[in-house]
Structure 1
Amino acid sequence: MKHTTIYFYLLMLLCLPILSVAQQLNSKTDSLITKDLKEKSYGTASTYYNSDIVFLGRKSPIKAPYFSTMVGYYHKSGVYASFGVSYLASPAQKRIDLSAFTVGYNHSVNSFSAGVSATKYFFNKNSYTIESALSTAINGYIDYDFDILDARIDANGYFGTTTDFISSISLNKTFYINNFTILPSVTMNIGTQNYFGNYSNNYRFMRGAPGGMGGGITNPSSMMGGTAIPLKTLNYEASITCSYSLKKFRLYFIPSYAIPLNAVLITNGTNTYTESISNSFYWSVGINYIF
């Protein structure tokens, strides 16, 4: 069993260079629209509210609710680009917290689809969300619809002060009921955890982000004594994307539940802390206009 797990992790790393020229369609809502309109060129304008930002099962010490607005253009050739801005609606701090630009390419043949994309993040210097330790993401994915279930594998590279490689395996099924679309999915994420040590040290310890422990450190990016971080199962996640179509508008509600695994050790000078992890329920609601 141990050897099988090692071989699986190695396979994920081998897939990454093949798949990861850029990042996937991050939103499940975009994925639904792409399936419906893959033979046409179209644009989208969306507004969403996210109850909290949870990244690979991890979250900041205090909630980070976001109001987000995004515009995108998807050419029938498969090339697309999108730009979004997110406003932090926390009672403690209110500001434009993030803007992001994504370019990518999707291709599908019958039941098979694949794609690559790249996203550049621009976080406010005072941002305390988990993802604020990142500056760039690249993604590649392959997806096959078996009719009974749709299976997808993603390979991601996340870049900031440190670099992380994350692979995801997702199973989902789309149900159509008149104007309603329901897409339940389950996901397992596997990869490295350098980003969390970098976030905890640079943002919580040094910069004193809300809920942080305070104090300085000798090595701001040290983690587990500076040893290499192995690949681990990071979290399991389940979600249900509920969509209602009304002409060119789509309304969405997406409840999600994340179960983080494998808490890491974080070094702060001569002290070592164990990452605090807990299960998270969070949700998103929004509206999308297709033109």
Structure 2
Amino acid sequence: MRYLSLFIFSFLFAVANAAATEPRFFLPPATTAAADSDSVPVRKRSVSVGINYGNDAIFFGRVGPVKYPYVATDVVYNDKSGFFIYGSALKVLGYDPLFDEVDLGAGYYFKSKNKKYSSNISYTRFIFNNDARIIKSASTNDINFKNSYDWKILKTSATADFLFGKSNDFFLTVSQSKYIEPDWSVFTDNDYITINPSVNVIFGTQNFVNRYSEDRFYAHNRDKIFNAAMLTRNNGRFTVLNYYLKVPVAYNTPHYTLEAAYRYSIPVNVENALQNRHASFFNLTFYYLFY
């Protein structure tokens, strides 16, 4: 009950008060190669193309029994009205499938007149190769609803995800971040550095764990993921899943951004043989904006 009470408070607080710094342009949720930098307004028609490398695929604070480094690409179309559509593809490095995942989605982005509150809602359809190995492959659809409020000193965000299809799960990610943009340029008058560190906590259910085990590794690697004792556990229980610190540092120009991000993850309430421990994750992202 205490976690449910905290969820209700956090969600209602974010909806009632929430907002964000001006993003240089909008990219959808973390299902794409989107970087974490915030900066200039996006109310213009634009197309962005991105590519992202990660040293391991992480899904709401959980990783698979072995490391899965990956490369992901995405394309996002933003309309002046706030509507956007996007597509992305992910390839796990070192394994046979030509692709592991393709995502297709659409949504709407809103910002208040005082520019303190922002929100976006989106729907994403996940399409996986039959041989995909990442934990996310236990999911099929995601409805994502994010609210942010900029206090100037810090930005508070609450993101709700409802995943349904093969397994049904609900997640709430609460974040406190600080956008930093030094007032000096690097090489030209139009470039700049941004730093956007954040402290985050993920709440959620874990029905995806059993589904992933049955779909991907039940026959040969069952003991690496769960054992019989786990079957008596309540994976539908809403609880804390992960605490993490993330520090993205980006080099920006009017048309492109290059970002390096470090994430330190502390999983909690881990279901048995997933055996997730404290871990570090690294991402390198490049994206180009056409407008």
TM-score (norm 1): 0.82
- In structure 2, the CA distance between the partners of 1:290 and 1:81, relative to structure 1 (3 Å rule), is same
Which structure has more strand as a fraction of its residues?
Answer: 1
- In structure 2, the CA distance between the partners of 1:224 and 1:10, relative to structure 1 (3 Å rule), is farther
Q: Number of paired residues?
A: 269
The CA RMSD over aligned residues, in Å, is 3.1
Aligned twin of 1:125: 130
| Mapped contact 1:9–1:231 kept (Cα < 8 A) | no
| Mapped contact 1:241–1:255 kept (Cα < 8 A) | yes
- In structure 2, the CA distance between the partners of 1:279 and 1:236, relative to structure 1 (3 Å rule), is same
Structure 1 distance, partners of 2:256, 2:177, is 23
Aligned twin of 1:202: 215
Structure 1 distance, partners of 2:255, 2:145, is 29
Shift of 1:24: 5.3
- In structure 2, the CA distance between the partners of 1:195 and 1:4, relative to structure 1 (3 Å rule), is closer
Aligned twin of 2:243: 236
5+ residue gaps, structure 2: 17-26, 186-191
275-284 or 168-177, which deviates more = 275-284
Instruction: Specify which of 119, 136, 148 is matched with residue 153 of structure 2.
Output: 148
- Does residue 103 (structure 1) correspond to residue 98 (structure 2)? The answer is no
- In structure 2, the CA distance between the partners of 1:43 and 1:104, relative to structure 1 (3 Å rule), is same
Shift of 1:106: 0.8
SS in structure 2 opposite 1:201? Answer: helix
Shift of 1:85: 1.2
5+ residue gaps, structure 1: 266-273
| Mapped contact 2:3–2:239 kept (Cα < 8 A) | no
Instruction: Percent identity, please.
Output: 24
SS in structure 1 opposite 2:100? Answer: strand
Structure 1 distance, partners of 2:289, 2:11, is 37
Letter in 1 for 2:239: K
Deviations 1:261-287 (A, max 9, x none): 00225xxxxxxxx44121221111121
| Mapped contact 1:239–1:254 kept (Cα < 8 A) | yes
Letter in 2 for 1:166: F
SS in structure 1 opposite 2:5? Answer: helix
Shift of 1:224: 3.2
- In structure 2, the CA distance between the partners of 1:202 and 1:285, relative to structure 1 (3 Å rule), is same
Shift of 1:227: 4.7
Letter in 2 for 1:7: S
Shift of 1:213: 3.5
| Mapped contact 2:180–2:196 kept (Cα < 8 A) | yes
